[in-house]
Structure 1
């Protein structure tokens, strides 16, 4: 039976009980449509017996005991697709939950494909079809409906069985260490911080014009700081397409800024417009040595498309042979760097990935390995 917790003392007692468990399944419901930072609305927790939904917005709610539970090294915190949940807890408690187990990552190691959904795992491993009717609920609205509470609870109820099944499978196959290694990226607090100076990278500009890139970097950094300061989505400050146009036009005054499509007169002549114009002026004064390099001029540039394509075939064959998701072994950037550089410092040339794929990839580059079709599979041919 699912319980809704709206009382701080009841939450503290629950967390004390859950700290005696070997693991606890965790999920969150949050809102981010109107804010830069996610607004935590609900936390779902399940131990061996208890399943609860915590109303984090309840009056007088103190979440400190939850923070202690998430930091307890004796209790494994089980998530599915943990990144957003971990980010929320890092913002709230100043630390990443530890230790954690992400069933989406575990599913990739166990051969369930790239980014297996929670619904698919529950259906495949537990034999239950989930009702996702409340996926887009307004979780900040109160009171929570009984249907919302049951929907939220389902996300941790069945996660217990998914966790046990995947863990047993991976333990039997000797692959728990593979999961632990992949989980390390989730434990680094720096992975959840967007540095304003790097905000331009998410726009993926195609140009090689370094002066333009310097201007885009400055305007994107200003927008990121302004969005953080006002706690509103970055698109509410200036939309991506307008930001790209501003960087191209590089207006020097409010009149020129107001001529950009999507920029209002009020914005251009107000405090935000003045801040944006100051960022543009600062970018204009940068010497050439301070301009960023084009994205296509960074690591992996000069890679032969044909060689990258061949490495992708080898990657697919290796993933099939080891029954893991290809993305777990290497991503496109890894393959491009592998094709362009002699032996780059990339994850597929380290640890178990090197044994499963990296050594063959280096042999393919060196002409010591060939690929051939063998019925419905790809055969690796060693060349002496």
Structure 2
């Protein structure tokens, strides 16, 4: 298992196995459009993780990364897809779908808890402990530390295994179709965030 670091785009020699690809992002904050996209993490579930770092002033051209993420035949796995899809749409100019969101799936079937963060989910479902010490570190720094790289890689390391376990529970509780409907809507929810409807529920009856 190795962590591979790339500047501005994936290397020309990078190849991913067929099937779903796990994706995550790191940014200067949690507001797409205000906060800069700094890092995109990827894994095909075979043991290696790839980190693509964008520097200050980047033009975010990244043709190889964009081709992978915008491939309509490849499922993208996220934890909290709403944010990742939104910030990549804003900065990379792509819609990284179709998608599966482990946080959304967790909310649909782990209704006995309000703890749906990746750390809690991985601990309960897979029995692994994740460190979140670097979660709020400076992802725009000139140098990314080894601790930051490990943290970023761990955010995509378990998504394939989580999907398998969560799918079993969705089927057991007869919520697979409901989950798929939610996944299909997430790109539009992300676009609403970018367009200015981040907090407002446009479906609510409020007078």
TM-score by length of 1: 0.47
Aligned counterparts, 1:1-384, within 5 A: 1-6=2-7, 8=9, 10=11, 12-14=12-14, 17-18=15-16, 20-32=17-29, 36-49=33-46, 50-57=48-55, 62-112=61-111, 113-114=113-114, 116-188=116-188, 190-195=191-196, 299-301=205-207
Give the CA deviation at 1:93: 3.2
CA distance in 1, matches of 2:173, 2:32: 44
Cα pair 2:41 2:152 within 8 Å, conserved = yes
Q: Deviations over 1:70-89 (max 9, x none)?
A: 11122110001111111111
Aligned CA-pair RMSD: 2.9
Q: Which has the higher contact order (CA 8 A, sep 6+)?
A: 2
Q: 1:48 to 1:32 in 2, by over 3 A?
A: closer
In 2, Cα distance between the equivalents of 1:40 and 1:168?
34
CA contact (8 A) 2:9 2:65 kept: no
Q: Which has the larger radius of gyration?
A: 1
* Preserved contact between residue 77 and residue 99 of structure 1 (Cα < 8 Å): yes
Distance 1:107 1:33 in 2: 21
Deviation, structure 1 residue 131: 1.1
SS in 1 for 2:135: coil
Whether the aligned pair in 2 keeps the contact of 1:45 and 1:156 (CA below 8 Å) is yes
1:185 and 1:191 in contact (8 A); partners too:
no
Q: How far off is 1:169 after superposition?
A: 3.0
**Judging changes above 3 Å, is the alpha-carbon distance between structure 1 residues 114 and 73 closer, same or farther for their aligned structure 2 residues?**
farther
Q: In the TM superposition, what is the alpha-carbon distance from 1:109 to its structure 2 partner? A: 2.0
SS at structure 2 position matched to 1:96: coil
Q: Distance in 1 between matches of 2:150 and 2:168?
A: 28
State how many pairs are aligned: 199
1: distance between equivalents of 2:89 and 2:176? 25
User: Conserved in 2, the CA contact under 8 Å of 1:104 and 1:115?
Assistant: no
Residue pair 1:8, 1:60 contacting (<8 A) in 2 also: no
Find the aligned partners of 2:129 and 2:62 in 1 and give their Cα distance. 32
Partner of 1:285: none
2: distance between equivalents of 1:33 and 1:79? 16
User: Which residue of structure 2 lines up, in the alignment, with residue 358 of structure 1?
Assistant: none
Q: Deviations over 1:249-279 (max 9, x none)?
A: xxxxxxxxxxxxxxxxxxxxxxxxxxxxxxx
Structure 1: gaps spanning 5 or more residues: 203-297, 302-384
Contact 2:33 2:194 in 1 (8 A): no
Asked if the contact 1:31/1:40 (under 8 Å) is kept, the reply is yes
Classify the secondary structure of the residue corresponding to 2:152: helix
Alpha-carbon contact 1:5-1:53 (below 8 Å) kept: yes
Structure with higher helix content: 1
Shift of 1:62: 4.3
Q: Give yes or no for contact 1:87–1:192 (8 Å, CA) kept in 2.
A: yes
